[in-house]
């Protein structure tokens, strides 16, 4: 096998873990807005316009001047992912266990803070984990040359500020810093040495990315609000060591002591949110969003042996969400919502390292507000992530050809939040 083929194989597999780690970064693509905040109970519909608690520091910093008091809000979130890959035995040429079932359990937390400074200025802070994952596949499953184990942890820090320029207009800005640590393991085919024993490659590393967020919130009259946010493009400058084990002689001399370097871009995005009170008990919320995932089309990646650029033929994504808040009592609020995210890639261009598809999310929750200054909430979100159909994807002769789709591809999210107004 030539060095170029070795490079192409490992470069494509490298993208699997570096990019999967960003699955919850933005709307569409790797997108999910659930960050252990009260808005999860509405599938985050209208989060950029709601601006009624400290989590607006993350969703739309312009809303900080509307909070009106010092507030600290903490959240705890449990993510449970369940997927079942249905292997197409006719169009694939891989050996191993056909069972492609995978589960992930991860727990993350969040902290949000709002601090008024005078009548027209407010400061905010957000600390959350947009995505965590702990995926473990059967070591003998048919897709083991694409991924076996994956561990991802992220931490996002965002200081922000807001200023009320008119009684009905608020503007805001914030800095977003995100730290990503990852480790992935995958099998390496030793067939060149006539061995039935797979080798193993382990990737691990970490990186920071920085970007900014701008927001505006208008409230032409009581009960009607519109929020608009812009998130800038941000880049992870990833550098990863690659550790190999049990490689045959044909491969070990070519890839020993290898390192990967890759620039992974999170695209810019725009979100428009609306909030409208139909009555003293009922309010409806909605949002529209766009993310520039076509900018993610080509990713320069380098291995010590060679350089490569992976073309993905991605497209921009669109998001739409709607939800409501209903007061069951003065202190008890029921929330629910639904949202849709378009797929960043067509089925003809989808790859096994990133088998992303359209998403449907449904959510509901309860919130207790106004008792001794406390705000306590609980929510549940169910996400259908599409079939992610693969049509004969291959990273080269050693990885084989993988075809099929996800008969089950779902995510369950349970969140608990607690806030206190000082």
For the segment 129-171, what is each residue's pLDDT rounded down to a tens digit?
877 666 666 677 767 777 677 777 789 999 999 999 999 999 9
Domain span at residue 162? 3-421
* Spatial distance between the Cα atoms of 84 and 357, rounded to a whole number of angstroms: 15
pLDDT digits (tens, 9 = 90+) for 398-409: 666 677 777 778
pLDDT the model gives residue 2: 41
Q: Is the pLDDT of residue 304 over 50?
A: no
Q: Return the higher-pLDDT residue of 358 and 366.
A: 366
Higher pLDDT, 215 or 146: 215
**Averaged over 278-291, what is the pLDDT?**
96
Rounded mean pLDDT, 193-210: 79
Higher pLDDT, 291 or 12: 291
Q: Does residue 301 register a pLDDT over 50?
A: no
The structure tokens listed for 376 are 């306590």
Burial of 311: CB neighbours in 10 Å, binned 0-12, 13-18, 19+? exposed
Q: Which whole number is the average pLDDT over 47-63?
A: 97
CATH number at residue 225: 2.40.160.60
* Backbone phi and psi for residue 393, each to the nearest 5 degrees, phi listed first: -80, 140
Give yes or no for residue 46 having a pLDDT over 90: yes
Predicted confidence band at 299 (pLDDT cuts at 50, 70, 90)?
low
Q: How many domains does the chain have?
A: 1
Q: How far apart are CA 50 and CA 326, in angstroms?
A: 14
- Lowest-confidence region among 93-97, 314-318, 356-360: 93-97
Determine the pLDDT at residue 90: 52
Q: What is the pLDDT of residue 14?
A: 46
Are the C-beta atoms of 88 and 109 separated by less than 8 Å? Answer: no
For residue 325, the model assigns a pLDDT of 98
Q: How far apart are CA 404 and CA 224, in angstroms?
A: 47
Tokens 């193993």 sit on residue: 200
Cα–Cα distance, 314 to 326 (Å, whole number): 39
The band of 282, judged by pLDDT with boundaries at 50, 70 and 90, is very high
Alpha carbon separation from 141 to 11, 85, 96, 136, 390 (Å, rounded)? 21, 10, 5, 11, 16
């Amino acid at each position: 096998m030539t060095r170029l083929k070795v490079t192409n194989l490992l470069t494509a597999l490298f993208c699997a873990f570096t990019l999967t780690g960003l699955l919850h970064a933005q709307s569409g693509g790797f997108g999910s807005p659930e960050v252990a905040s009260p808005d999860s109970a509405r599938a985050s519909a209208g989060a950029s316009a709601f601006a009624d608690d400290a989590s607006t520091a993350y969703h739309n910093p312009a809303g900080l001047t509307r909070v009106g008091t010092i507030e600290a809000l903490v959240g705890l979130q449990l993510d449970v992912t369940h997927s079942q890959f249905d292997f197409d035995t006719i169009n694939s040429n891989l050996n191993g266990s056909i069972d492609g079932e995978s589960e992930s359990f991860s727990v993350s937390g969040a902290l949000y803070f709002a601090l008024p400074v005078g009548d027209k200025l407010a400061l905010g802070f957000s600390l959350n984990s947009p995505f965590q994952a702990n995926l473990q596949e059967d070591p003998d499953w048919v897709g083991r040359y694409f991924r076996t184990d994956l561990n991802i942890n992220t931490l996002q820090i965002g200081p922000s500020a807001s200023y009320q320029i008119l009684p009905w207009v608020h503007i805001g800005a914030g800095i977003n810093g995100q730290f990503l640590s990852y480790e992935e393991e995958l099998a390496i085919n030793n067939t060149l040495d006539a061995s039935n024993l797979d080798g193993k490659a382990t990737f691990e590393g970490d990186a920071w990315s920085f970007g900014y967020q701008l927001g505006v919130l208008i409230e032409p009259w009581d009960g009607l609000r519109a929020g608009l946010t812009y998130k800038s493009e941000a880049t992870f400058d990833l550098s990863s060591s690659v550790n190999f084990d049990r490689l045959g002689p044909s491969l070990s001399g070519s890839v020993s002591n290898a390192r990967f370097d890759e620039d992974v871009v999170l695209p810019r995005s725009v979100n428009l949110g609306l909030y409208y009170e139909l009555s003293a008990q009922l309010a409806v919320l909605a949002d529209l969003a766009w993310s520039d995932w076509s900018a993610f089309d080509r990713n320069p990646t380098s291995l010590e042996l060679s350089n490569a650029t992976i073309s993905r033929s991605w497209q921009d994504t669109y998001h739409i969400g709607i939800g409501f808040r209903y007061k069951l009592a003065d202190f008890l609020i029921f929330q629910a919502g639904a949202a849709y995210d378009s797929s960043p890639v067509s089925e003809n261009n989808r790859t096994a390292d990133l088998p992303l598809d359209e998403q449907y999310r449904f959510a509901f929750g309860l919130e207790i507000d106004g008792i001794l200054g406390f705000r306590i909430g609980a929510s549940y979100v169910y996400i259908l992530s599409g079939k992610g159909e693969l049509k004969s994807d291959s990273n080269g002769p050693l990885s084989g050809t993988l075809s099929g789709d996800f008969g089950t591809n779902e995510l369950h999210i349970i969140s608990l939040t607690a806030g206190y107004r000082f």
